[in-house]
Every structure is written in structure tokens, then in C-alpha cells.
Amino acid sequence: MTHKTKHRTPAEHILGTMLIVRRRYLGEKHFILLLAFLVGIFTALAGLTLKWLIAQIQYLLTHQFSISSTNLLYLLYPVIGIFLTSLFIRRVVRDDIGHGVTKILFALARKQSVIKPHNCWSSVIASAITIGFGGSVGAEAPIVLTGSAIGSNLGRLFRLNSKQLMLLVGCGAAGAVAGIFKAPIAGLVFVLEVLMIDLTMAWLVPLLVSCVTAASVTFALSGWGAVFECHVDYAFASSRIPADIFLGVACGLISLYFTRTMNGLEGIFRRLKSPYTRLVLGGTMLSVLIFLFPSLYGEGYELIELLLNGRGEQDWLTALNHSLFYGHDHLLLLYLVLVILFKVFASTATNGGGGCGGIFAPTLFLGCIAGFVFARLWNINDVFGVYLPENSFALLGMCGLMSGVMHAPLTGIFLIAELTGGYQMFLPLMIVSLGAYLTINLFEPHSIYAMRLARRGELLTHNKDRAILTLMSMDSVIDRYSKFLMPEMTLEEVVRQISVSRHNVFPVLNADRQLVAILYIDDIRHIMFRTELYRQLRVSQLMTQPAARLSTQDEMEAVVKVFEHTGAWTLPVVDGDGRFVGFIRKSRVFTMYRQMLADISNE
């Protein structure tokens, strides 16, 4: 008898070797550090690959464009890009890959940090096509999703538990920001502020490992210069503090406009069921806007470089190249203001039409223009007799929009400082960032990423009670019943059911299994053994209405509030049609709460 030897693939051999090494030589903490190191490497390589693809596509399509006239291909390229991306997503990926950061937040809150394997590569390809052909979005959010997917799937490959998976998802997101922006501190702060992961000593080192590794790989392969080489001309003076405060407020209001407008436009696109209808609307809107304002093409980093490094009027006027405004130098400010107003339309049209991209780059783009325009208007009107350097305020504006749109003041401060090398501007960065955050927080309590989940009660926050209740699911605390009563049943039938049941409360249902009322054993205990009443009394005479009815759609925070308000210990749960699902007992909710609290706190 011959035995066939099963040959392992190289991937299986490597996996088996690592599992053996893990069991024999590495403790749990050291193995997590090794995985965090790998996540940092893979995430940095993914970011570099995406940036390279975008640059190659854009150069191939636009390097021969005339700077002194409009280019009709601006009307064609964005539509082609959105169409190809939409086709790739629908035919190859067959899954929604939009709103990358929102997907990570949802995975952390509801899916035990499980992110689908295709997210390790699908967002890279889709966003490269979208942005390369002119989509007015950023590459950063897709890379953040890619990094988190790498962390999640690497953790699942080595059978890590849900808490360790959450850590690796955070490592992937932190490494993505650190790598693509060459900003390791900003990567760490982003995870804390935007993904709202609590920082403990057990988690700090792996996050730092991923950030430092990703940034180092990017520096080594792309050079040691900052992403934006910035000519900073800002000597801090107390006379400029009012301007910093006003800029922060202005950035907060622009952030509010961006957030509200994007949500409204997304609602319009969601109501369009046909992908081709969305393509026509989104593609037409985007193409027309790019034709009128070529600065909206792609990520817009060329205009950011121009406004940050321009030495005077002649440099800044090149922002009008390729547009209908070329040669009309007196319209520069009008052009930039219109770009601020229409950028949100271009970004939403890109994603709504079927493209793939994030809002990191649009936020930086808007902030840079907003800061520049603010300083120009301030200087033209000679406010308080204080001169404001336009390029420095363009940098401050980037910080303000980042803080306002993402509700992440620390991320804005450290990202802009690391992104541009403008470390000497920490104090004005802090003033603008805080001003923008406080302004938008008056109107919007959640970031543009989190508000979609917050409306559904699926947002994980730093509030420990709310975080635990968010992680708990209704299904995990429902006690489902196979037996039930009906109104026409006699007391004899009730006693017969009680005798073989461990429950002390029973649902009373109609023929359609809809909940009519409930029956407590305590309410009939005094007549349970009076056999002469067995055929005389019916359930309809003994049942009572519950203090409240819970729905399968309710969030756990709402469930706890109902228990507190009613003082009940057991409440029925029904579905959308009023059909009985089961009971929830307050004791079971509290038991699971204490268990999850202990798990989260056990570091």
C-alpha cells in the first residue's frame, strides 16, 4: 500500500513554521509585536504602491495638457475612471468598499474586528483608477482600510482573539497614516482620536512598532523629505493670536459646510438605485467641475505645494493654469473661493457615482486654500495692521480643516507638523485646531466618519459604559422560547406547561405568533393547585400587559434605559411585525456587561 504525501504550498509552510516558532520561542506579547512589525511593513508597501499607481496614471493622461487653455479631456477622463472603478467593484470585488474609515469603526463595534480579505487589495486598485483618472478624492482612507484589513486578516490567520484582532486593526490604521504621510506620531494619535481605541500600556508598544516601521519603510524607499516641502515664514507673535482664533472659527464653519453638504449629497446618491444613473449624475457633475476648476483633478496636492511654497503673486497665479480663468489674474481669489465651495460636490460625486476614495486629501486641500484665502483677505483689508504670511496660514488652515471635519484636534496638529516639517508652529497650530474643533462641535457632535454609525447606535466611543453596550448585541442576551401560551388556553393547559418548564414568565401569542400579553407564574401561584378552576379560567383572564416591549432593532443602550425607566426585570422582545422573539432579563444583561468590562479592563 502506498501513501501519498501531501505537499504543502510555500505559504502553508511559512505559516506552519511561524506557528511552531510562536509556540516554542515567543510569548503572546512578543508575537503581537512581531505581527505589528509585519503589519507596518505590508501597510507601507501598499501605500507606496497606491501612490505610484496614481502618479503613473495621471502622468500618462495629463502630461501633454496645455497650461494656457482648457482641456476637453477633463470632461472625459473622470467619467471613464468612475465607470472602470464601478465595473471593478461590481464585477470583481462584488462588495461595497466605500467609506473606508467608517467600515473600520463598524468592524470594531459590531464585527469583532473582522474585515474581509479582499480589502487588503481591492481599495488599492479601485482608488488608483478613480484618482488617477481625476476623481476628486484622497488615497489615504483606502490605505487606512487596507492597513486595517491586513492587520485583521493577519490576526485571523494566526487565530488571535477578538481583543488582539482589534489591536492589529488599530496597528494597520496607524501604520497606514504613518506610512503614507511619513508621520508616525500622527498615525498613533489618529487611532486614538478617530478610531476611538483606548490606549493602554499593553497596546501602546505594538501601535508604535507599526507606526515607526511603516514610516521608516516609506522614508527608506521614497526619500527623507517631508510629504510637502514647506517654506514656513512665521515668527510667532502675540499680535497674530486673534488671526489664529478667527482662522480656527472659519475652518470650523467650513468643516460644518463640508460635512453637512456631503451628507446631503450622499443621501441623494443613495436614493438612486441604478448604478448607471449614479454614474451619469456623478460623472457629469465631476467632469464639469474639473473642466471649470482643474485644481479639483485628483488629490490636489500640486495646488497645496504651490500655496505652501509660492514666493509671491507670480507663483500663486499659476493656480489658474489649464482653466478658463487663465490670464485673468484679478480673479485668483474668486477662483479659490469657488474651489472651496465646489470641492465637496466633486468629492461626493466621485464616490457617489461609483468611484473609491477618502476625504483626507480633500480636507487638506480645502484647509490649505481656506488658510491662504483668509490671509489674503486679511492683508488686503489690513486688519489690525497685522501682516499674515499666506503660506504659513495655508498650513494652519490644513490643520483646522483636519481638526474640524474629523473631530481630531491632536491628529490635525501632529499630522500637519510632521507632514510639512513645520514644528516651530506648534502653538498657532494648537490655537487653530482647537478653534475649529470647538466651533464644529457646537453643531455636530460626531466626525464625518462616525456620524453614520452614531445615528444607528453602532459607534464605539471612549465612554466605557457606552463602548461595552455597543459591543453587546441584542441576540446575545435574548432568551428564546420554544413554548408559548394562547389566550383561549385553560388554566389546566397552563399548569401542564409550567410543570415541564424552567421559566417563570410566558408569552401569550395569537395565531400569527404576535405578542398579545405575558403571564407571570407569580400571578397565578395562588390558584395553580385549585383543580376546580382548571377548566373555568382561561389565559385571557390571567395575562397582563408587559411594562414595555423591546424590538430586535433596539440598541443595548436603549434597552438598559427601558429597564431603568420601567423598573422591570423581564421584558419581551418582538420583531418589526410584532412577532414574539424572546425575553430579555435584566440580570443577564448585567452579567454579560460585567464580563465584558472585565475582559476590556484585563490588560
pLDDT digits (tens, 9 = 90+) for 146-201: 999 999 999 988 878 878 888 899 999 999 999 999 999 999 998 888 776 666 66
* End-to-end Cα separation, the chain, in angstroms: 54
Fold exhibited by the domain 238-456: Clc chloride channel (1.10.3080)
Count of residues in the chain: 603
Q: How far apart are CA 412 and CA 586, in angstroms?
A: 43
Average of per-residue pLDDT across 287-304:
92
Task: Quote the pLDDT of residue 1.
Answer: 45
Give yes or no for residue 93 having a pLDDT over 70.
yes
When pLDDT is cut at 50, 70 and 90, the band that residue 8 belongs to is low
Phi and psi torsions of 461, nearest 5°: -125, 175
C-alpha cell at 480: 428564546
Domain 10-222: give its CATH superfamily: Clc chloride channel (1.10.3080.10)
Helix (H) or strand (E) holding 571: strand 570-574
C-alpha cell at 237: 507673535
Task: Quote the pLDDT of residue 458.
Answer: 47
pTM of the prediction? 0.76
Phi and psi torsions of 515, nearest 5°: -70, 125
Task: Quote the pLDDT of residue 455.
Answer: 53
- Residues of the chain within CATH 1.10.3080.10 domain(s) are 10-222, 238-456
Contact 158, 140 (CB under 8 A): no
Distance of CA 163 to the CA centre of its chain: 19
Q: Cβ contacts of residue 584 below 8 Å, gap of 6+? A: 474, 477, 478, 479, 550, 559, 570, 571, 573
Cα torsion 355, 360, 140, 55 to 10°: value is 70
Residues 402-439 pLDDT 10s: 999 998 899 999 988 887 766 678 889 999 999 999 99
Task: Quote the pLDDT of residue 596.
Answer: 59
10 Å Cβ neighbour count for 457? Answer: 16
Give yes or no for residue 459 having a pLDDT over 70.
no
Weakest-pLDDT range from 271-280, 313-322, 443-452:
443-452
Average of per-residue pLDDT across 280-290:
94
SS3 assignment, position 505: strand
Domain 466-601: give its CATH superfamily: CBS-domain (3.10.580.10)
C-alpha cell at 244: 489664529
Burial class (CB in 10 A: 0-12, 13-18, 19+), 273: exposed
Q: How far apart are CA 563 and CA 583, in angstroms?
A: 12
When pLDDT is cut at 50, 70 and 90, the band that residue 326 belongs to is confident
Weakest-pLDDT range from 248-257, 468-477, 489-498:
468-477
Give yes or no for residue 125 having a pLDDT over 90.
yes
Q: Which of 474, 462, 453, 456 is nearest to 559 (CA)?
A: 474
Count, in order, helices (H) and strands (E) of the chain: 26, 6
Residues 383-394 pLDDT 10s: 888 999 898 899
Task: Quote the pLDDT of residue 285.
Answer: 95
Give yes or no for residue 557 having a pLDDT over 90.
no
Bridging pattern class, strands 505-509 and 515-520: antiparallel
Task: Quote the pLDDT of residue 405.
Answer: 93
